[in-house]
Amino acid sequence: MLYKIALAQINPTLGDVEKNLLKHIEFIEKAVQKKAHLIVFPELSLTGYKLGDLTMEVALTFDSDFFKPLLNLSKHIDIAFGFIEKGKDKNSYNSAMYMSEGNVKQVYKKLYPPTHGMFDELRFVARGKEIKIFETKLGKISMLICRDIFHPSLAFLSYAGNADIVLALSNMPLRGLRGDKPGIQTTVEKAVDTYTNFFGMFVVYVNRVGFDDGLGFFGGSFVGTPSGKKLASGDLFEEALTFADIDMEEIFKKRQTFPLLREEDLNIIKKNLDRILEDSYG
């Protein structure tokens, strides 16, 4: 099957959810016109990143009426975006929502909110506990949020769960300006290259642009394919709506010629992991 995926590399306004909602609608409508099957926004696309004490003020439950315009649009196109979730357990989360056919299909809570150096997420949000691999019109999808994708364990779990596509919603601030590309961009491209090759999956990386309090988000969104291609690359620093046509057959072909998943024995992994946990953590 062939699918068209839209990458919405936007610059949200910090803390202004109404304005950002309008931007989502604008980008979604354009993607619908191009007959895309799925549009993916960056992490926290509805709120901006460096929220601090604004976090609790912009938090929304996943079933809030605020999302109605997006739910309506999801009758025409699947939508993945980021927001601060007001959890049913009364915690706030850095979450990603997937909508399809007028319904909320899945909500994923970021597993590894970074808290060191310039990152301060766990001061304001709680950690998610569960990776979600779910069926969609396009195939099996797993959503990861920014730092999550630097944990190969999560890409591996997506692969173990037989995900076809990993959506990586990101807010990566630029650091490293020595080479041809920002240093952090090289890091993320290497990671995606590894996952797509060894796990035989598509990775849709969508990073925002713009500045929050001096942190500059570089963009550079793209789709990595199992055969090692890079599609729909967004420029650096500029808003963009790019499109990738992906062929799901590519996964089958890759996994036939490089049958790692067929060789994989999850029981061995589980046993060894249990033993390591026992030895290391008692």
Partner 1 sequence: MADISLNYEMLKKFLIYFIKEEVKTNKFNKTILGLSGGVDSAVVAYLSTEALGKENVVAILMPYKLSSPDSKEDALLIADKLGIRHEIFEITGIADEYFKQIDHMDRIRIGNFLSRIRMSILFDKAREYDAIVMGTSNKSEIMLGYTTWYGDMAAGLYPIGDLYKTQVFELAKFMKISEKVLNKAPSADLWPGQKDEDELGALYPELDSVLYLYIDERKSMEEIMLLGHSKELVENIIRRVNSTQFKRTIPPVAKFSARTFGIDFLYPHDMKR
Which of residues 182 and 226 has its CB atom nearest to partner 1 in the complex? 182
* Binds partner 1 by CB under 8 A, chosen from 2, 129, 214, 282: 214
Q: Which is nearer to partner 1, 29 or 57 (CB)?
A: 57
CB of residue 45 to partner 1, shortest distance in Å: 16
Out of 172, 212, 234, 240, the residue judged to bind partner 1 by CB under 8 A: 212
Is 54 a binder of partner 1 (CB under 8 A)? yes
User: What's the closest the beta carbon of residue 273 comes to partner 1, in angstroms?
Assistant: 33
Q: Considering only 11-19, 83-91, 247-255, 261-269, which stretch makes contact with partner 1 by CB under 8 A?
A: 11-19
Closest CB 180 distance from partner 1, rounded Å:
7
Three-state SS annotation for the chain: CEEEEEEEECCCCCCCHHHHHHHHHHHHHHHHHCCCCEEECCCCCCCCCCCHHHHHHHCECCCCHHHHHHHHHCCCCEEEEEEEEECCCCCEEEEEEEEECCEEEEEEECCCCCEECCEEHHHCCECCCCCCEEEECCEEEEEEEHHHHHCHHHHHHHHHCCCCEEEEEECCECCCCCCCCCHHHHHHHHHHHHHHHHHCCEEEEEECEEEECCEEEEECCEEECCCCCEECCCCECCCEEEEEEEECHHHHHHHHHCCHHHHCCHHHHHHHHHHHHHHHHC
> Could you say which residues in the range 252-281 bind partner 1, by CB under 8 A?
none
Smallest distance from the beta carbon of 16 to partner 1, in angstroms? Answer: 4
Read off the amino acid at residue 202: F
Which one of residues 26, 29, 35, 52 is an interface residue with partner 1 (CB under 8 A)?
Answer: 52
- Site stretch for partner 1 (CB under 8 A), options 14-22, 131-139, 156-164, 251-259: 14-22
Query: Rounded to whole angstroms, how far apart are CA atoms 59 and 20?
Result: 14
Measure the CA–CA gap between 170 and 153, rounded to whole angstroms: 18
Contacts of 158 (CB under 8 A, 6+ apart): 131, 133, 142, 144, 166, 199, 201
What are the structure tokens assigned to 247, written together?
């062929």
Which range of residues in 136-144, 159-167, 205-213, 225-233 is near partner 1 by CB under 8 A?
205-213
Closest approach, Cβ 126 to partner 1, in A, equals 17
The single residue among 26, 29, 63, 213 that binds partner 1, judged by CB under 8 A, is 213
Q: Which of 33, 47, 32 is nearest to 79 (CA)?
A: 32
Binders of partner 1 in range 96-135 (CB under 8 A): 123
Residue 85 CB, nearest approach to partner 1 (Å):
19
Comparing CB distances to partner 1, the nearer of 119 and 211 is: 211
Site string for partner 1, 155-174 (x = CB under 8 A): -------------------x
24 belongs to the binding site for partner 1 (CB under 8 A)? no
Binding region for partner 1 (CB under 8 A): 11, 13-16, 19, 50-54, 123, 174, 177-180, 182, 210-214, 216, 236-237
